[in-house]
């Protein structure tokens, strides 16, 4: 993936200023980051699936002794899909790496992490940190975007992802140990307000409908939120599929690009457009904007593949 240096080189070439003679490095970095976030918003390609009960980190509380051979880490508890790897040095566990944070893990006390060596070893204790921000609270209707932003900030598996600005879908756990997690029906806010919130009966059950109110992170740190109906009757973990902005790339600092290819190819053109616009060179700015729009069109074509429908609709195979 492109680094900030890659973007700087391409942008300065488009500005015909390879040595930062007319455009300062500070300004070019500003244009690049504005371009990255504009493309993230336009494409909604930077996505994050936040789940309640996600393991966000693992710490070695005790390294144990006598470990040899292939080291295996087993994570068990109420959740699903979490996985990790570990290494040993001198028979003691010296590193543990979270591969997948999974979902549905309730607390550290109910989540067990076992480390085994194919040729022996015992005594290692691994302590998980579990994020349950995306969990319904009995009787609570509103859930702020900051909940998923807390999870995004805590996780380390997907670096470079910024705050959530919009939701694509919401699912909620039903039953003991999240035996089912159906997707909730989405409604636009006006319909949700008219058909559900107008009946103030205090009905509580598993939520079946959600609606987004507002977007992004506001000046007070609150911004967007979702409303649920019926009001939750118990603590249940949710899945939020969100689209996000990206973390600012800084000189000598964070170089991780969360914006996926081919959207990255459009970044230097929009950055150059901003540069020419600021330099009061409208014709050059217009040309860069045109080139940017072409790159965006190409990215849309490349990333939106044809979807093949179900040829067995109505057949017995459709139930599988």
pLDDT in tens, the chain (320 residues): 899 999 999 999 999 999 999 999 999 999 999 999 999 999 999 999 999 888 989 999 999 999 999 999 999 988 888 999 999 999 999 999 999 988 888 765 678 999 999 999 999 999 999 988 899 999 999 999 888 988 888 888 888 999 998 999 999 988 655 668 899 999 999 999 999 988 877 789 999 999 999 887 765 656 899 999 999 999 888 999 999 999 999 988 767 899 999 999 999 999 999 999 999 999 999 999 999 999 999 999 998 877 777 777 765 554 44
- Is the domain of 112 the same as that of 171? no
315: left (phi over 0), alpha (psi -120 to 50) or beta: beta
Which single residue is written with the structure tokens 């292939």? 70
- Is the domain of 67 the same as that of 156? no
For residue 176, with 0-12 CB atoms within 10 Å meaning exposed, 13-18 middle and 19 or more buried, which class applies?
exposed
Domain count, the chain: 3
Q: Is residue 227 part of a domain?
A: yes
Nearest CA to 247 among 312, 173, 158, 186? 158
Tokens of 210: 């959600």
Q: Is residue 148 part of a domain?
A: yes
- Is the domain of 158 the same as that of 88? no
Nearest CA to 163 among 177, 147, 187? 147
- Is the domain of 127 the same as that of 33? no
Q: Is residue 253 part of a domain?
A: no
- Is the domain of 179 the same as that of 139? yes
Q: Is residue 252 part of a domain?
A: no
Q: Is residue 251 part of a domain?
A: no
- Is the domain of 233 the same as that of 156? yes
Q: Is residue 316 part of a domain?
A: no
Tokens of 164: 């959530």
- Is the domain of 151 the same as that of 221? yes
Q: Would you say how long the chain is, in residues?
A: 320
- Is the domain of 121 the same as that of 165? no
Nearest CA to 242 among 317, 151, 316, 174? 151
- Is the domain of 189 the same as that of 230? yes
Which residue range(s) make up the domain with 282? 4-44+259-303
Nearest CA to 55 among 80, 73, 72? 80
Q: Is residue 318 part of a domain?
A: no
Residue 155: predicted pLDDT: 81
| First-residue to last-residue Cα distance in the chain | 38
- Is the domain of 84 the same as that of 120? yes
89: CATH: 2.40.10
Q: Is residue 214 part of a domain?
A: yes
Residue 320: predicted pLDDT: 46
Residue 174: predicted pLDDT: 83
- Provide CB contacts within 8 A for 8, sequence distance 6+: 25, 28, 29, 32
CA–CA separation, 67 and 92 (whole Å): 6
- Is the domain of 87 the same as that of 123? yes
- Is the domain of 190 the same as that of 114? no
């Amino acid at each position: 993936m492109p680094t900030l240096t890659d973007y700087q080189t391409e942008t300065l070439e488009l500005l015909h200023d390879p040595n930062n003679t007319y455009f300062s490095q500070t300004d070019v970095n500003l244009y690049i980051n504005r371009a990255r976030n504009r493309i993230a918003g336009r494409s909604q390609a930077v996505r994050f699936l936040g789940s309640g009960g996600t393991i966000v980190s693992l710490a070695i509380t005790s390294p144990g002794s006598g470990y040899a051979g292939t080291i295996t880490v087993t994570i068990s508890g109420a959740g699903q899909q979490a996985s990790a790897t570990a290494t040993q040095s001198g028979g003691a566990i010296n590193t543990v790496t979270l591969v997948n944070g999974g979902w549905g893990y309730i607390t550290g006390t109910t989540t067990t992490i076992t480390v085994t060596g194919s040729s022996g070893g015992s005594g290692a204790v691994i302590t998980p940190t579990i994020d349950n921000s995306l969990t319904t609270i009995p009787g609570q209707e509103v859930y702020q975007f900051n909940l998923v932003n807390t999870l995004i900030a805590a996780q380390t598996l997907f670096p470079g992802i910024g705050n959530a600005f919009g939701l694509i879908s919401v699912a909620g756990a039903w039953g003991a140990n999240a035996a089912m997690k159906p997707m909730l029906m989405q409604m636009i806010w006006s319909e949700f307000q008219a058909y559900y919130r107008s009946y103030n009966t205090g009905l509580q059950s598993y939520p079946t409908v959600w609606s987004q109110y507002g977007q992004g992170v506001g000046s007070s740190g609150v911004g967007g939120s979702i409303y649920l109906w019926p009001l939750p009757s118990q603590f249940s973990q949710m899945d939020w599929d969100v689209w996000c902005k990206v973390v600012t790339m800084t000189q000598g600092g964070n170089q991780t690009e969360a914006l996926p290819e081919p959207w990255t190819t459009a970044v230097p053109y929009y950055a150059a457009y901003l540069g020419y616009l600021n330099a009061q060179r409208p014709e050059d700015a217009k040309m860069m904007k045109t080139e940017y729009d072409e790159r965006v069109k190409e990215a849309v074509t490349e990333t939106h593949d044809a979807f093949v429908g179900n040829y067995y609709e109505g057949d017995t195979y459709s139930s599988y």
